[in-house]
């Protein structure tokens, strides 16, 4: 290659400006991940030992009726063509019609998801506000009685089945002491009193100025949210303690103490500041797990969330609802991962 050709190649403009490369890479990763998620859910719907046609027409339908519905669903087409139809429908927000409710799955998810979002958000806030300080104190006071209590709390949170804790909580705090509300989001007398704006009844009751409904809803959500918060606290406190112990044993912490820096500044301005990025991942994973893994809690407390919705749909062979809920849960994980990545760059300049 001649010198002129080499100079021409070096002056050739890039396909994308430098400031666009990172957003383009992120959007490309999201698109590929979402495409893979949709393909997996599509295959799950095809390999499940459930005949979607029989779920619609019933076992006593005539062969002509069965064949007509079979063709209407596009099941006579090649697999790639069926996936193309499925992808087109999902991109337009069409997950099909639920056999259980006879409503579009997108409408059902829009109705039940705010209940899960409200419950998981409150549980995560409890876990973060209590778990992070507990983990920091346990690391600073290593092998002290505080550290021992923190480790026992985390161990119990991991070991105790959440359905057992839920049943015991209902028995003690609702059945015996009467401190909290029972199953459901509100009492029967307050159902549908507040107009749904966000779908989260605590926020909707505040917007409506109905403090009586707010108090009743709070009494119903405090126990299941506390159980999820305890589960989240156990995970977050354990990981925070581990991260802090690693930082407190580093050389820069010893140097800061030798220079006469106060212990408070050493802990919070140096050690804790360097674990914030790791904690973001832990909190995001905990939040995502509560959003998709609170099925038992929702069933025990008759909480009309997406977990109980998917479970009921699966028991009724309602695959449109199951796959629609699965796609939404997968999308939540993708959003939380992207949000974590953006927070990395904000909190840690080295990640830019």
Structure confidence at residue 17 (pLDDT)? 64
d(CA 140, CA 267): 8
Structure confidence at residue 350 (pLDDT)? 58
d(CA 201, CA 207): 10
Backbone phi, then psi, for 97, in 5-degree steps?
-110, 135
Q: What is the pLDDT along the chain (352 residues), one digit of tens a residue?
A: 555 555 554 455 555 566 566 667 777 777 888 888 888 878 877 777 666 777 667 677 777 777 787 777 777 777 788 888 888 888 888 888 887 787 888 888 888 899 999 999 999 999 999 999 999 999 888 888 888 888 888 888 877 888 888 888 888 888 888 888 888 888 888 887 888 888 888 898 898 888 998 999 899 999 999 999 998 898 999 999 999 988 888 888 888 888 888 888 888 888 888 888 888 888 988 888 888 767 888 888 888 888 888 888 887 777 788 888 888 888 888 888 887 777 777 766 555 5
Structure confidence at residue 331 (pLDDT)? 85
Could you tell me the CA-to-CA distances from 248 to 67, 141, 146, 260 in Å, in that order? 69, 11, 17, 16
CB neighbours of residue 146 within 10 Å:
14
Class of domain 105-351: mainly alpha
Q: Where in the chain is the domain with CATH 1.10.3720.10?
A: 105-351
Structure confidence at residue 133 (pLDDT)? 92
Burial (CB count <10 Å: 0-12, 13-18, 19+), residue 143: exposed
Kindly state the tokens that stand for 264: 């408070």
């Amino acid at each position: 290659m001649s010198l002129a050709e080499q100079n021409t190649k070096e002056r050739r403009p890039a396909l994308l400006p430098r400031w666009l490369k990172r957003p383009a890479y992120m959007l490309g990763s999201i698109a590929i991940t979402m495409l893979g998620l949709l393909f997996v859910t599509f295959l799950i719907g095809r390999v499940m030992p459930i005949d979607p046609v029989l779920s619609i027409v019933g076992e006593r339908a005539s062969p002509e009726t069965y064949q007509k519905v079979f063709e209407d669903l596009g099941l006579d087409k090649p697999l790639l063509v069926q996936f193309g139809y499925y992808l087109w429908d999902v991109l337009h927000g069409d997950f099909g019609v639920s056999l259980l409710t006879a409503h579009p799955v997108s409408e059902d998810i829009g109705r039940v998801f705010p209940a899960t979002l409200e419950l998981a958000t409150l549980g995560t806030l409890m876990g973060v506000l209590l778990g992070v300080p507990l983990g920091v104190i346990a690391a600073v006071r290593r092998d002290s009685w505080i550290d021992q209590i923190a480790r026992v709390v985390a161990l119990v949170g991991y070991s105790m089945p959440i359905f057992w804790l839920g049943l015991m909580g209902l028995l003690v705090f609702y059945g015996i002491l009467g401190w909290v509300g029972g199953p459901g989001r509100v009492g029967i007398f307050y159902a549908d009193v507040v107009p749904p704006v966000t779908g989260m009844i605590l926020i909707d009751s505040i917007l409506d100025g109905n403090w009586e409904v707010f108090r009743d809803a709070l009494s119903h959500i405090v126990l299941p949210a506390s159980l999820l918060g305890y589960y989240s606290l156990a995970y977050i406190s354990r990981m925070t303690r581990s991260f802090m112990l690693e930082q407190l044993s580093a050389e820069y912490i010893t140097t800061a103490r030798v220079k006469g820096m106060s212990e408070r500044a050493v802990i919070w301005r140096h050690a804790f500041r360097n674990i914030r990025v790791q904690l973001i991942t832990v909190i995001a994973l905990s939040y995502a797990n509560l959003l998709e893994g609170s099925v038992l809690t929702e069933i025990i407390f008759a909480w009309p969330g997406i977990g109980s919705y998917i479970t009921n749909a699966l028991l009724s062979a309602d695959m449109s609802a199951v796959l629609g809920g699965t796609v939404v849960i997968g999308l939540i994980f993708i959003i939380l991962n992207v949000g974590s990545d953006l927070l990395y760059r904000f909190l840690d300049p080295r990640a830019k």
